[in-house]
Amino acid sequence: MKAGLEVHQQLATGKLFCACPSEFSEEVRGSFARRLRAASGENRNVDPAAALAASRRLVYRYETGPSNCLVEMDEEPPHPINPDALDTALTLALLLGAHPLDEIVVMRKIVVDGSNTSGFQRTALVAVDGHLELRGKRYSIPTICLEEDAARKVSETPSEIVYRLDRLGIPLVEIATGPEITEGREGREVAEELGALLRATRAVRRGIGTIREDVNVSIEGGHRIEIKGVQELRKIQQYVDFEVERQRVLLAVREVLRARSARPPTEPPIDVSSLFDEVASGPLSAGARKGGVVLALALPGFDQQLRSPAGTEERLGRELADQARSVGLRGLLHSDELPGYGLEPVHVARVREALRLAPTDAFVLVTDRDRARAELALLRVGARAAAALEGIPGETRDPLPTGRTRYSRPLPGRDRMYPETDIPPIAVTADRLARLAAALPERPSALRSRLAGDYGLPSEIAGQLVGGGFAETFETLAKRGRPAPLVARLLTQDLPSVELPSGAVEGFEPSVDLLDELLRASESGRFAKEGIPAVLTALAAGALSLDAALARAGLSGLSDAELGAIVDRVVEKNRALIEERGEAAFQPLMGDVMREVRGRRDGKVIADALRRALVRVRGAA
């Protein structure tokens, strides 16, 4: 297995080609619609990805708001490149030992999903030939680019996709690694290290979705697959591992198909609508079809090769269904999963008869109200089945929350860049580089050893603080006098394990001041530090203040006086024991007090109160 990453990080510098802020907004002030057509370039070729997208004849609707101007609407030429964003990209180049180019030339890269109003994304190569050292291994960084983010998709129907323009134009630094990653785990580690390096510049946006990874994976005998837009770094490992599994399953299927001389489908699909007239349930029933046509396609030699082998969910059937979905169908049915879905053995037998299938042949069924679209779907299914005899087709795939991926579109052609004629090339001067080199931020490796040294943290914990992006918060709290081990535990363990309320769309990111208040309250003994996760959960669930969170977590209301009263009562009840055992009475009494206090005060505060009471009682005796 070989894998490489492309890390895309949003910058907080303001947009790349206009003066709008790098901020999202839910305020919609208006909207407009556009369409995209595929046209041939100077080499007379039409990009296959562009041709497929155009064949869907979609309308793209763009919502405008306070974070955009005429530039995002493509009604005004781009302004000169944002100098802060370029400085940040150059700083990263220096940190990665890369060679900045003498001159930055902005290019247009064709984008076929409507996510840019212009139909292209502006991108500029900033530096080449860098490297990253991690755990004794060297990863090449062939390119560092600066580009504009795309518009944000807000909804989608089979005929229209709605985008919001607030995200369009936010600067992205793109760092590509070479294909030197050989395990899923390594992919996550490299991504985290690059994330830490990006944060070191202090010019990046924070939160879910502000860093996105494209993961390129291939295995021996397979093909390069691009998994696009992974937002959760810790899932990279899963995506890589499942992609390896997918390619292995499909390569094994190919061997079976070749051994039994399976052939690409050659017969055109046939209309089998009338065979299902009395089907009462499932996707082919009259109720579900609403007058739609049912088409069947024979797959010669594919019987039992469309379903998942034991121990995996990957299967050729899903790849075929993805093709049907790519033209707007909801999916397909294939013979390995039938009878089922409302179909009886008799229906299967009728389809096999109508297609005149041999026992080793398989078939697929699709239904749609638009016959032309159903035919297009089967054309693509047939092409994908033919490709299964060759091996793994090169694809762009979408990450799913399960850790698996879904077909998105063909890998784009290589000839899709041309110069942006509205922006003159920018010379990168020696003065500029010298100024940036003199003010380089602390590298993650240096930051890790400094945190370990200055605050006495185990190196593993220091690594988690830096890798998780908590270093700055940690230092702020530690410098305010909060105990370093407690802060480190809060940030690396308690905070990441907070359970978000169901339906939460954004992560839980309490302010430094709130965390400070929380830690102070625990230190002063208002509640036990074991109660911190419960308080954080209450805050994540919407408690508006620390007091409200304490009340919600059932941790409020035990004052020093109340604690003293409990201690006194326990001591009073056990006078005989104290006289008999002396200091040794402490342990059993501590147990009694703890049972009553139930974590509402810190154990150390309770122990101190009990010791004082014991000294008092024994002194009096």
Residue 68 vs 201, nearer CB to Zn ion: 68
C-beta of 119: minimal distance to Zn ion in Å?
A: 18
Instruction: Name the one range near Zn ion by CB under 5 A: 14-22, 199-207, 341-349, 406-414.
Output: 14-22
Residue 8 vs 167, nearer CB to Zn ion: 167
C-beta of 17: minimal distance to Zn ion in Å?
A: 8
Instruction: Name the one range near Zn ion by CB under 5 A: 20-28, 83-91, 249-257, 262-270.
Output: 20-28
Interface with Zn ion includes 73 (CB under 5 A)? no
C-beta of 24: minimal distance to Zn ion in Å?
A: 14
Residue 74 vs 241, nearer CB to Zn ion: 74
Residue 65 vs 301, nearer CB to Zn ion: 65
Q: Which helix (H) or strand (E) holds 9?
A: strand 2-10
Is-contact 242 230, C-beta < 8 A?
Answer: no
Residue 318's closest CA among 369, 376, 368, 364?
Answer: 364
C-beta of 21: minimal distance to Zn ion in Å?
A: 9
Residue 18 vs 543, nearer CB to Zn ion: 18
Cα atoms in the Cβ-side hemisphere of radius 13 Å centred on 71 = 26
Quote the DSSP letter at residue 343: B
Instruction: Name the one range near Zn ion by CB under 5 A: 62-70, 179-187, 528-536, 595-603.
Output: 62-70
- What is the distance in angstroms between the CA of the first residue and the CA of the last residue of the chain? 77
Residue 226, judged by CB atoms within 10 A of its CB (0-12, 13-18, 19+), counts as buried
C-beta of 9: minimal distance to Zn ion in Å?
A: 20
Instruction: Name the one range near Zn ion by CB under 5 A: 66-74, 336-344, 386-394, 397-405.
Output: 66-74
Residue 20 vs 461, nearer CB to Zn ion: 20
Residue 68 vs 305, nearer CB to Zn ion: 68
Amino acid letter, residue 549? A
Kindly state the tokens that stand for 135: 């755990």
Residue 71 vs 293, nearer CB to Zn ion: 71
C-beta of 30: minimal distance to Zn ion in Å?
A: 14
Kindly state the tokens that stand for 265: 């489908």
**Size of site (CB under 5 A) for Zn ion:** 5
Q: How far apart are CA 293 and CA 366, in angstroms?
A: 8
Instruction: Name the one range near Zn ion by CB under 5 A: 16-24, 47-55, 130-138, 219-227.
Output: 16-24
Residue that the structure tokens 């290019």 belong to: 107
- Which of 1, 20, 168, 204 is in the footprint of Zn ion by CB under 5 A? 20
Interface with Zn ion includes 18 (CB under 5 A)? yes
Q: What is the chain's percent helix, strand, coil content, to nearest 5?
A: 40, 20, 40
Residue 251's closest CA among 218, 284, 202?
Answer: 218
Residue 68 vs 492, nearer CB to Zn ion: 68
Q: How far apart are CA 93 and CA 380, in angstroms?
A: 43
Q: Compute φ and ψ for 477, nearest 5 degrees.
A: -70, -40
C-beta of 258: minimal distance to Zn ion in Å?
A: 55
Q: What is the CA radius of gyration of the chain?
A: 31
Helix then strand count (H, E) for the chain reads 20, 21
SS3 204: strand
C-beta of 79: minimal distance to Zn ion in Å?
A: 8
C-beta of 167: minimal distance to Zn ion in Å?
A: 12
Q: In terms of residues, how long is the chain?
A: 621
Residue 69 vs 288, nearer CB to Zn ion: 69
Residue 355's closest CA among 270, 266, 273, 257?
Answer: 270
Looking only at residues 289 through 328 of this chain, which bind Zn ion when binding is defined by CB under 5 A? none
C-beta of 304: minimal distance to Zn ion in Å?
A: 56
Interface with Zn ion includes 71 (CB under 5 A)? yes
User: Exposed e or buried b for every residue in 238-267, given b needs 16+ CB within 10 A?
Assistant: bbbbbbbbbbbbbbebbeebeeeebeebee
- Which of 38, 54, 59, 69 is in the footprint of Zn ion by CB under 5 A? 69
C-beta of 71: minimal distance to Zn ion in Å?
A: 4
Residue 14 vs 603, nearer CB to Zn ion: 14
Cα atoms in the Cβ-side hemisphere of radius 13 Å centred on 165 = 26
Query: What character string, x for contact with Zn ion (CB under 5 A) and - otherwise, covers 78-117?
Result: ----------------------------------------
Residues at the contact surface with Zn ion, assessed by CB under 5 A:
18, 20, 68-69, 71
